[in-house]
Amino acid sequence: MSGLSRYFPVLDWGREYSRGLLIDDVVAAVIVTIMLIPQSLAYALLAGLPPEVGLYASILPLVAYALFGTSRALAVGPVAVVSLMTATAVGRIAQTGSPEYLTAALTLAFLSGLFLILMGLFRAGFLANFLSHPVISGFITASGLIIAASQLKHIFGISASGHNLLEIIVSLIEHLKELNPYTVAVGVTATLFLFWVRKGLKPLLVRFGLGERFADILAKAGPIGAVALSILVVLAFGLGEKGVSIVGDIPTGLPPLTLPVFDMDLWSSLIGSAVLISIIGFVESVSVAQTLAAKRRQRIDADQELIGLGAANMASGLSGGYPVTGGFARSVVNFDAGARTPAAGAYTAVGICLAALFLTPLLFHLPKATLAATIIVAVLSLVDFRLLAQTWRYSKSDFLAMLATILGTLGLGVEIGVILGVGLSILLFLYRTSRPHCAIVGQVPGTEHFRNVNRHQVLTSKELVTLRIDESLYFANARFLEDRIYELVAKQPEIRHVVLMCPAVNDVDASALESLEAINHLLKDAGVKFHLSEVKGPVMDRLKRSHFLDDLTGEVFLSQFDAMHALAPELAEMAARSLKNRENEATRQRSGFDPSI
Amino acid sequence: MSGLSRYFPVLDWGREYSRGLLIDDVVAAVIVTIMLIPQSLAYALLAGLPPEVGLYASILPLVAYALFGTSRALAVGPVAVVSLMTATAVGRIAQTGSPEYLTAALTLAFLSGLFLILMGLFRAGFLANFLSHPVISGFITASGLIIAASQLKHIFGISASGHNLLEIIVSLIEHLKELNPYTVAVGVTATLFLFWVRKGLKPLLVRFGLGERFADILAKAGPIGAVALSILVVLAFGLGEKGVSIVGDIPTGLPPLTLPVFDMDLWSSLIGSAVLISIIGFVESVSVAQTLAAKRRQRIDADQELIGLGAANMASGLSGGYPVTGGFARSVVNFDAGARTPAAGAYTAVGICLAALFLTPLLFHLPKATLAATIIVAVLSLVDFRLLAQTWRYSKSDFLAMLATILGTLGLGVEIGVILGVGLSILLFLYRTSRPHCAIVGQVPGTEHFRNVNRHQVLTSKELVTLRIDESLYFANARFLEDRIYELVAKQPEIRHVVLMCPAVNDVDASALESLEAINHLLKDAGVKFHLSEVKGPVMDRLKRSHFLDDLTGEVFLSQFDAMHALAPELAEMAARSLKNRENEATRQRSGFDPSI
């Protein structure tokens, strides 16, 4: 990739853009537009924003991603989890419906875009790796539940609030007496209809002779059907006057272009949330982009994806939108519908733009309950508790991280939940490596191999003890090593030589160096020599840059066999005798690998 | 160790307590008492507390540690860094000198004790390992500078404040016009005297025929000499009336016993600081305890140390003291003076108790400048910038963590500084392991060994690619592996088989499992089979608990040689021919280790 087209992937694919590609992209764009109109309205509702903000977030951001993104199938726009996180972040500093709320949402998108672009320029995409899979899936399950619960108020036609599951449920129960029967009728019908569309429509269409893929795409357009039908029902029965809450007046026109607000107080109260939203959004987006790209043996560039999503969010913040990212379901539809280049996203933007210009008057009578129903049906498909059981079977520490994320998110809110999960999974990982596997080894008679004394019949010496450590040495396990060696020496007063065997040590950091120095020093006081064996090349290079090797009381042996030979010659002789006897039969045992080590 | 004496080590050593041990312990206690009197007064001053609080913190806490601690030489009491952290934590919520300030300091000690005991009971001592060596030494250097700067106000006789270096320096300059010449004279003289005692007294005493060790101990008693001399000077020249700030009235008597304050607001505003103080104090204490124990081939139990220090802090919080820990210099003196059991600490407590009862009237005229001088001389010996250069040479990422800790502590304060350092060192470690070493390998002709294709002349096949990964697979590097394999397959369309060679994989967590499943799935779509080889036993056991092996398109081979044999028979044949030729000369190459791997 040339320098410029690294940052502008459009220069690559744009050069070969043909009529065939154009047709494919336009077809996909039309289908995605139909899917995106109700979604963008619904997710704006979830974020506590006016419906047009959802439309605005689906116009310029898509164009920006088309210019800077590397995925050929990713469909960018408002998504459920990011909308919930926006509501949480912005709800903390402004009242829903106030102008400050909107300003904060715009600023959040702008900051999130800025942060993503910085991450991309500094190639810090690896940060997203710290969200382990159990944490992400726990987070998505828990947010799905919170989102579904938060939308029940629209289905019931009551007012309720809260940022965690308990608060929302309590609030719902408190307001249950305000229940509006017409709203319930619309909401429940829409929910059932959408569930049926998701599960039952596709098989039905296939039975009527439609192709599998086309039936699937048509079933995904269910929400637009629900929207149209419920508008007709509201109009026919005059439900707007009977207390059914409707979307009402949506301003017609193009997105407003605004400069970002440079208010340092606002920035500092939003920056933490912007970072979280960016990382969560990036992880969601990059996984689907990578999956889809790999299906066509294409590649995406994670760092450039950061820039693409960053540009999309900045565009959103500058054109009346709120934080966006690549949506999972929508991108799959885009892919299945045949999108071939990021241009499909730009055509979708044109579609949404037309909707914002001409469709909004038709949406006046759209009941909010229908939008809530589309959200509930979409997010409940994300809720998956079977993963908990699977993870429990596979790994207890991953299970713990997942459970902490779910409980934290449900009980303390989305932001604390995800921080808890990430913190715990890092902590558990460090804990595991802080007690590395290590073994006292002896020589297997008749070979040059050294094995764990507890598992094999091996030759050992009273004056020489060899400890093999199966992990890189770094700050979390440095003291463990010290402790282990002091224990050995305290237990066995005859020891004259300690050898640390390092075939699995890929790194020795400054803390571990300090520990090695302390061990050397203390063993010296106790009249014991400290040696190393089988130190890897790069580790040796690094040790040479310190004083450790000058002060070392013992030697560094290339192989443990050499160490044995030099430090316990009687043992080496014994081994050599066995070796001779077994020389012939041992000829074929040359593979370095032994799964029982 | 029996159940009870695990938690009460005194039951172990107390049983064998003899007259000889008693004499040794008492001698050490007398010397430590002489050292501790000025220190406890000075550190109370540093913490912003009345001088008697320092004495109280040196009585019951020492008895508590003697009962529960496992180190035979650790001298517990107020220390510089913890005093500074106390001032920072308590200063945030109360005015220096107010009753609330004292209450908060007591509560901080109590909470810190509680937290340490909980850590001990849950055997969570490993948490202290997350403070890497560069972070600790950076933190100590930076706090030493802040402490020294904060004491300059007493040397100059002016008032100044601030929690980071810049604030303190600015405040000092602003108040410089209030400078009191008499105070400066006392302060500067005391500082110079103490520096001379530290550097010049010991050689002088040795020249006059004193033993090396005794001269050293006598030199450590310098501060008490400075205290006595400066009291005499103040009295002789009536400096108290000339504006030299003196300690004044110290209440005479035993420490007051108080119940802890159960104020949830206070607790929640102090708990974070209590956790930090506990961990920093524990790390400082356990390193010196471990070093001293190892010198006599004794052992300390880190988890029981947590309980010992926790008991000391709770005792401090219940008897008018503030947070304490094992001090470095003091413990070394205790050790050198011959302390043989923790009882020496209890005898020191008796000494300080006598001082609190009878000595305090003599301290009325003690100038604060002298106490400040003892602090400055003590902490400047902790400041060591050469470590920065050493660490830079040894490891750039350790250097970064150290620099961040130093700059963070100097510029943003002790708490943020240490959190920054710990966070960064964990992040850098994860970053290093997130890009594990991996290599495409081929067969070394004439052997069953497989080596990096870029470094060795090896046999490879166009249809079969083998990737060896040299790190456990976990969340931080799982996506890296996916990326690496997709890249391989995208580049080389002839590939039919991908083998992942896992001899160095000690663990596969749930995120990595997910990645392996994704790889398997995508390779299947691309018509490529995915195999594993040389999977370690425990990893295999774990994989069997998932669906991965059922869905795997390829096989799991015990050795890479088997994989090659099954998947690229033409290559295996070629290799076998070479093997035959080299059979005889290869007989001696049986050590599994090759440093050039």
Cα–Cα distances in angstroms (integers) from residue B495 to residues B439, B465, B489, B490, B568, in the given order: 17, 7, 7, 9, 12
Gap between the Cα atoms of B386 and A337, Å rounded = 64
Q: Which of B151, B149, B159, B150 is closest to B180 using CA atoms?
A: B159
Nearest residue, CB atoms, B592 vs list A394, A470, A592: A592
Q: Count other C-beta atoms under 10 Å from residue B553's C-beta.
A: 15
Contact A578, A549 (CB under 8 A): no
Q: What is the ipTM of this complex?
A: 0.77
Say if A365 falls within a structural domain: yes
Q: Are residues B401 and B447 in the same domain?
A: no
Q: HSE (CB half, 13 Å, CA atoms) of A244?
A: 29
Of A425, A592, A596, the CB nearest to B475: A425
Interior/surface letters B96-123, b for 16+ CB within 10 angstroms, e for the rest: eeeeebbbbbbbbbbbbbbbbbebbeee
Contact across the interface for B394 and A476, Cβ inside 8 Å:
no
Residues A304/A90, Cβ–Cβ less than 8 Å: no
* Same domain, residue pair A532 and A383: no
List the single best residue of B122, B388, B396, B429 to mutate versus A (max A Cβ within 10 A).
B429
From the list B426, B482, B503, which residue is nearest A430 (CB)?
Answer: B426
A–B interface: beta-carbon pairs under 8 A: 214
C-alpha A380/C-alpha A141 separation (Å) is: 8
The answer to whether residue B338 is domain-embedded is yes
C-alpha neighbours within 13 Å on the C-beta side of residue B342: 27
Pairing of strands A325-326, A76-77: antiparallel
Sign for the pseudo-dihedral over CA of A221, A225, A226, A228: positive
Please list, in sequence order, all residues whose beta carbon lies within 8 angstroms of the beta carbon of residue B196, skipping any fewer than 6 positions away: none
Q: Which two tokens stand for residue A343?
A: 């241009």
Q: Are A85 and A343 within 8 A, CB to CB?
A: no
Quick one: three-class SS letters along B459-525? Answer: ECCCCEEEEEECCCECHHHHHHHHHHHHHHHHHCCCCCEEEEECCCCCCECHHHHHHHHHHHHHHHH
Beta bridge partners of B467: B440, B500
Q: Report CA dihedral (B467, B470, B473, B475) to the nearest 10 degrees.
A: -110
Contact yes or no for A150/A172 (Cβ under 8 A): no
What is the pLDDT at residue B290?
80
DSSP labels for A27-53?
HHHHHHHHHHHHHHHHHHHHTT--HHH
Shortest CA distance from B429: residue in chain A: A474
Instruction: Read off the pLDDT band of B588 (50, 70, 90).
Output: very low
Is the separation of the CB atoms in B16 and B331 below 8 Å?
no
Name the one residue in this structure whose structure tokens are 């689906």: A58
A481 to each of A476, A502, A503, A548, B498, how far by Cα in Å? Answer: 10, 12, 15, 16, 37
More confident residue, B150 or A581: B150
Q: Do A448 and B590 touch (CB under 8 A)?
A: yes
Window from A513-522, B167-176, B485-494 with minimum mean pLDDT: B485-494
Q: Looking at the partner chain, which of B295, B595, B597 has a beta carbon nearest the beta carbon of A522?
A: B295
Scanning A197-301, the segments in alpha helix (DSSP H) are 202-207, 212-220, 222-237, 264-295
Assess whether A420 and A505 both reside in one domain. no
What is the predicted pLDDT for the residue at B3?
65
Which residue in chain B has the smallest CA separation from A512? B133
Is A251 domain-assigned?
A: yes
| B592–A contact, CB cutoff 8 A | yes
* Higher-scoring residue by pLDDT: B198, B582: B198
Query: Where does a domain end: A426, A450, A480?
Result: A426
Give A262-267's long-range contacts (Cβ < 8 A, gap of 24+): A263/A107, A266/A93, A266/A103, A266/A104, A266/A107, A267/A107, A267/A111
Residues A400 and A511 in one domain: no
A229: left (phi over 0), alpha (psi -120 to 50) or beta: alpha
Amino acid at A53: V
Where a domain ends, among A378, A400, A426? A426
d(C-alpha B343, C-alpha B16), whole Å: 12
| A593 found inside a domain | no
Residue of A126, A514, A536 to mutate for B, most B C-beta atoms under 10 A: A126
CB half-sphere exposure, B391, CA atoms < 13 A: 25
> What are the CA-CA distances from residue A4 to residues A7, A68, A70, A311, B144 (Å)?
6, 11, 14, 16, 50
Cβ within 8 Å of residue B224, ≥6 positions away: B34, B35, B37, B38
Q: Give how far B293 is from chain A: nearest CA, Å.
A: 10
Specify the number of domains making up chain B: 2
Residues A142 and A270 in one domain: yes
A60-68 helix and A343-354 helix, angle to the nearest 10 degrees: 170
A563 assigned to some structural domain: yes
Buried residues in A484-505 as b, exposed as e (16+ CB within 10 A)? bbbeebbeeeebebbbbbbbbb
Question: For B277, phi and psi rounded to 5 degrees?
Answer: -60, -40
**∠A94-A98-A103 over CA atoms, to 5°?**
70
Decide if A339 contacts A29 (C-beta within 8 A).
yes
Residue A186 lies in a domain: yes
CATH code of the domain in which A466 resides: 3.30.750.24
Eight-state DSSP code of residue A587: G
Closest Cβ opposite residue B545 in set A394, A526, A534: A394
Residue B450's SS3 state is: strand
B489: containing domain: 438-585
Specify the pLDDT at position B597.
Answer: 41
**For chain B, what is the mean pLDDT?**
87
Residues in A closer than 8 angstroms to B448, CB to CB, are: 590-591
Q: Contact B258/B105 with Cβ under 8 angstroms?
A: no
Q: Does B504 touch chain A (CB under 8 A)?
A: yes
In chain B, what percentage of residues exceed pLDDT 90?
40
Q: Which of A426, A456, A481 is the last residue of a domain?
A: A426
The pLDDT of residue A594: 43
With 0-12 / 13-18 / 19 or more C-beta atoms within 10 angstroms meaning exposed / middle / buried, residue B15 is: exposed
Instruction: Judge whether B52 is closer than 8 Å to chain A, CB to CB.
Output: no
| Distance set, CA B218 to CA B211, B214, B225, B292, B328 (Å) | 10, 6, 10, 20, 17
Do both B392 and B461 map to the same domain? no
- Find the mean pLDDT for residues B348-355: 94
Tens place of pLDDT for every residue, chain A, 597 residues?
456 777 788 887 888 888 888 888 998 899 899 889 989 999 999 999 999 999 999 999 999 999 999 888 899 999 999 999 999 999 999 998 899 999 999 999 999 999 999 999 988 887 778 888 899 889 989 999 999 998 999 999 888 888 788 889 999 999 988 889 999 999 999 999 999 988 888 888 888 888 877 787 777 778 888 999 999 999 999 888 888 888 888 888 889 888 888 888 999 899 999 999 999 999 889 888 887 887 777 778 888 999 999 999 999 999 999 999 998 888 988 888 888 898 999 999 999 999 999 988 998 999 999 999 988 988 888 888 888 998 999 999 999 999 999 999 999 888 889 899 999 998 888 888 888 888 898 888 877 778 888 877 888 888 899 998 888 899 888 888 888 888 888 888 889 999 999 877 888 999 899 889 989 988 898 889 999 998 877 889 899 999 899 999 999 998 888 898 888 887 767 766 665 665 544 444 444 444 444
Instruction: With CB atoms and an 8 Å threshold, state whether B510 touches A561.
Output: no
The reply to whether B594 falls in a domain is no
Q: Residues B145, B149, B152, B154: what is their CA dihedral angle, to the nearest 10 degrees?
A: -100
Residues in B closer than 8 angstroms to A134, CB to CB, are: 510-511
A-chain residues near B595 (CB < 8 A): 534-537, 558
Q: In this complex, do B426 and A431 lie within 8 Å of one another by their Cβ atoms?
A: no
Neighbours of B399 (CB within 10 A): 20
Question: Of the ranges A264-273, B161-170, B177-186, B189-198, which one carries the lowest mean pLDDT score?
Answer: B161-170
Same domain, A294 and A366: yes
Within 283-342 of B, beta carbons closer than 8 Å to A belong to 290-291, 293-295, 297-299, 302
Instruction: Look at the alpha carbons of A105, A111, A115, A116 in this order and tell me if their dihedral is positive or negative.
Output: positive
d(CA B549, CA B355): 73
Of A299, A503, A595, the CB nearest to B537: A595
* Shared domain check, B401 and B488: no
Residue B128 has pLDDT above 70, yes or no: yes
- Report yes or no: A83 and A43 within 8 Å, Cβ to Cβ: yes
Residues of A216-251 as b/e, b for ≥16 C-beta within 10 angstroms?
bbbbbbbbbbbbeebbebbeeeebbeeebbbbeebe
SS (H, E, C) B325-361: EECHHHHHHHHHCCCCCCHHHHHHHHHHHHHHHHHHH
Q: What does the alpha-carbon distance between residue A136 and residue A406 come to, in Å, rounded to a whole number?
A: 10
B333 and B270, same structural domain?
Answer: yes
- β pairing state of A464-469 and A438-443: antiparallel
What proportions of chain B, in percent to the nearest 5, are helix, strand and coil? 65, 5, 25
Report yes or no on whether pTM surpasses 0.90: no
Nearest chain B Cα distance for residue A42, angstroms: 31
- pLDDT for position A579: 59
Q: Select, from the ranges A33-37, B161-165, B189-193, the one with the highest average predicted confidence (pLDDT).
A: B189-193
Contact list in A for residue B590 (CB cut-off 8 A) is 447-449, 586, 589-590
Residue B133 is nearest to which of A431, A510, A559, comparing CB atoms? Answer: A510
- The reported pLDDT for the residue numbered B589 is 46
Same domain, B402 and B444: no
SS3 state of residue A245: coil
Residue in B321, B323, B370 with CA at minimum distance from that of residue B151: B370
- Average pLDDT of the segment spanning B136-154: 91
CA atoms of B531 and B533, how far apart (whole Å): 7
**Do A559 and A481 fall into the same domain?**
yes
Residues of chain A with C-beta less than 8 angstroms from the C-beta of B477: 129
Q: Which whole number is the average pLDDT over B451-472?
A: 85
Going by C-beta distance under 8 Å and a sequence separation of 6 or more, which residues neighbour residue B556?
A: B531, B532, B533, B535, B540, B549
Question: Does one domain contain both B404 and B514?
Answer: no
With respect to residue A590, please indicate whether it lies within any of the assigned structural domains: no
Contact with chain B for residue A130, Cβ under 8 A: yes
Q: Give me the residue from A470, A474, A545 closest to B506, CB to CB.
A: A470
Segment B282-299 mean pLDDT:
81
Give the pLDDT score at B282: 93
Q: How far is B283 from chain A (nearest CA, A)?
A: 11
